[in-house]
Chain A
Amino acid sequence: MRALIKIIKEQYHSFYLIMRLAKFQLRIDNQNNYLGFAWEILNPAIQMAMYWFVFGFGVRGKENITNGHSEIPYIYWMLAGISMWFFINKAILNGSKAIYQKYTMVAKMNFPLSVLPSYIIMGKYYGHLALVGLIMVVFWIKGYYPSIYYIQLIYFLLMSYILAFAITLVTSTLTVVVRDIQMLIQSLLQAMFFLSPILWDRSTSMPHWIQSILQLNPFYYLANGYRASLLYNDWYIVEHWQLTLYNWGLILFLLLIGSTAHFKFRNRFSDFI
């Protein structure tokens, strides 16, 4: 518990540092492209168009997706969920590598090491916010206007960041000790992509116990949360309060393990790198 408080304090005091470093990271990543930052949005946009073509036209046809109360065309349903996924996927992949890739850069300084994964995540977060903004505009054009439920969207946007941080706090430390973990994460994320209701949701036609297991996946909660706020207009947090509690419990648990592991290995990172 003490480790967790220390991490949170470190993050809080380094807020300016995280923002600036994230900005520099974006510049480093996009320096060579003429379009620069625009690629952070163009890239996922092209992928979205592809998924929509393959799954929207090819596989699903013009079906609507229901949440029980109202129906939403597949393409919008998919867009809302997948925007979250592009962020989470990149943030976890790159965030896990953060310590072993960037450690030498800060090795000779008194640097708060837990900032390494969080500034990588923050860099991806900027792109995410821009992408969500773009999708919102598409929704407005199509008649899904801003509502009081946008407040809930802020909650889910924040939660995506916190979840990504909690996961990478664990994985960035583990990856330093055993490099193979990075490969494992890559495979797991691919599996999660198809186990989460991002491209499809057939869970209602599955046996009840499988449905329950699928809901234990934190990305399930996030994807549906984004949709509830942007499209379905219902209070997902309250209607599925058990999931809300479960997911915060999971985040707390990850943060606890992550911060303990981080401080246990922090002084020995240099031995592993």
Chain B
Amino acid sequence: MAESVIIKNVTKTYRMYKTKGEQLKDLVLPGKSGSDFNAIEDISFAVEKGDVVGLVGINGSGKSTLSNIIGGIVPPTSGEVIVDGEVNVIAINAGLNSQLTGIENIEFKCLLMGYSKERIAKVMPEIIEFSELGDFIYQPVKKYSSGMKSKLGFAISVTADPDILIIDEALSVGDQTFADKSLAKMNEYKKRGKTIFFVSHNLSQVRSFCTKIAWIEGGHLREFGPTNIVMKNYSEFIKKYHKLSPEDQKAFRDKLANRRKQNNK
């Protein structure tokens, strides 16, 4: 099958400063102060059309950075990402305004996603239907419960219908019925041969939903392969990690963090 996303030696480095002064110095004389932190380091893998790739790893391992780079939101420091098709990142809260009503928010967010006037008119009823909000759609979002907000956000995002979809922790909200409905929608995408990246800490969701898994640890790609193999290793790792005392867990994280730091001096 054809490859839809190729990630080649991608590294993302952030400059870290201890004080505002250091930041200012670095702006005037680049490279003299502050230190580098590699959020992700030299990651390469290729994904085919129809793959559902789970990105797993403990907090701070660089999953979100990687998904943002694939989504084109953050440029990589070095390396490149070759993407075949339109990418959309599903993020629940981006673009919802609490002062506007549900309807207004739908139009607002569709405008931000670059929809034409005609396309907005076409998708509006679909979104309202999917969101299950009923008459609340005419109320300002500030009156919504957090579950209602995420329903609206998700409903808007799934109608975008891109070729490559990145779902960053988006299915961990809402009640069970809505989560099931959302998963069904995702499965429909999967069947239609779309590439999906799925970032989640919910291992049972990842297991049932993904065909491949990329395990990120401390900014490096530790393992990439079919779900059953990588998932087995990852669950074992998580079990072992949970058994460690808090001090040992911290020591483990510090070791990883130190590897990612590069002091200039």
A108 interface neighbour in B71, B99, B111, Cβ under 8 Å: B71
A106, CB-defined interface residue at 8 Å: yes
- Contact check, A267 vs B75: say whether CB atoms are below 8 A apart: yes
User: Which residue of chain B has the shortest Cβ distance to A27 in the bound complex?
Assistant: B100
B58 at the interface (CB under 8 A from A): no
Interface size class of chain A, counting residues whose CB lies under 8 Å from the partner chain: 20 to 34
User: Which one of A14-22, A143-151, A208-216, A245-253 is at the interface?
Assistant: A14-22
Residues of chain A with a CB closer than 8 A to B113's CB: 109-111
**Closest chain B residue to A177 by CB distance?**
B27
- Please give, as numbers and ranges, the residues of chain A lying within 8 Å of B117 by CB-CB distance: 16
A21 touches B91 (CB 8 A): no
Checking B71, B100, B114, B140 against A111 with a beta-carbon cut-off of 8 angstroms, the contacting residue is B114
- A110 is contacted by which of B72, B74, B107, B140 (Cβ under 8 Å)? B72
Name the interface residues of A103-147: CB closer than 8 Å to any CB of B.
104-112
Q: Does A188 contact B (CB under 8 A)?
A: no
Q: How far is the CA of A144 from the CA of B135 in the complex (A)?
A: 52
Assuming the contacts A267-B75, A270-B74, asked whether A109 and B104 have C-beta atoms less than 8 A apart, the reply is no
A21 partner residues in chain B, CB cutoff 8 A: 108, 111
B29 within 8 Å of A by Cβ? no
Nearest CB of chain A from residue B155's CB, rounded to whole Å: 16
Chain B interface size, as a band, is 20 to 34
The distance from the CB of B92 to the nearest CB of chain A, in whole angstroms, is 10
Interface membership of A178, Cβ < 8 A: yes
* Distance in Å: Cβ of A270 to nearest Cβ of chain B: 5
Q: Is B97 an interface residue (CB 8 A)?
A: yes
A-B interface contact total, Cβ < 8 Å: 60
- Interface residues in A17-49 (C-beta closer than 8 Å to B): 17, 20-21, 24, 27-28, 31-32
Instruction: State the CA gap A165–B119 with chains docked (Å).
Output: 29
Interface residues of B in 97-125 (CB under 8 A from A): 97, 99-100, 104, 107-108, 111-114, 116-117
- Check: B196 CB closer than 8 A to any chain A CB: no
Looking at the complex, which one of B73, B95, B104 makes contact with A270 (CB distance below 8 Å)? Answer: B73
Interface residues of B in 1-56 (CB under 8 A from A): 14-15, 27
Tell me the nearest residue of chain B to A31, going by C-beta.
Answer: B99
Instruction: Give bound CA distance, A115 to B140, whole Å.
Output: 25
- Residues of the B chain whose Cβ atoms lie less than 8 Å from the Cβ of A268: 75
Residue numbers of A with Cβ under 8 A of B are 16-17, 20-21, 24, 27-28, 31-32, 104-112, 177-178, 267-268, 270-271
Contacts from B to A (Cβ < 8 Å): 14-15, 27, 71-75, 89, 91, 94-95, 97, 99-100, 104, 107-108, 111-114, 116-117, 140
Residue contacts A-B, CB under 8 angstroms, 27 given? A16-B117, A17-B111, A20-B107, A21-B108, A24-B100, A24-B108, A27-B99, A27-B100, A27-B104, A28-B97, A105-B112, A106-B94, A106-B95, A108-B71, A108-B73, A108-B94, A109-B94, A109-B95, A109-B114, A110-B72, A111-B113, A112-B114, A268-B75, A270-B73, A270-B74, A270-B75, A271-B14
What 17 additional pairs, Cβ within 8 angstroms, besides A24-B107, A106-B94, A112-B114? A20-B111, A21-B108, A24-B100, A24-B104, A24-B108, A28-B97, A28-B99, A31-B99, A31-B140, A105-B95, A108-B71, A108-B91, A108-B94, A109-B95, A110-B113, A268-B75, A271-B14
Rank and list the top 6 A-B pairs by shortest CB-CB distance, nearest first.
A31-B99, A108-B89, A28-B99, A267-B75, A108-B91, A108-B94
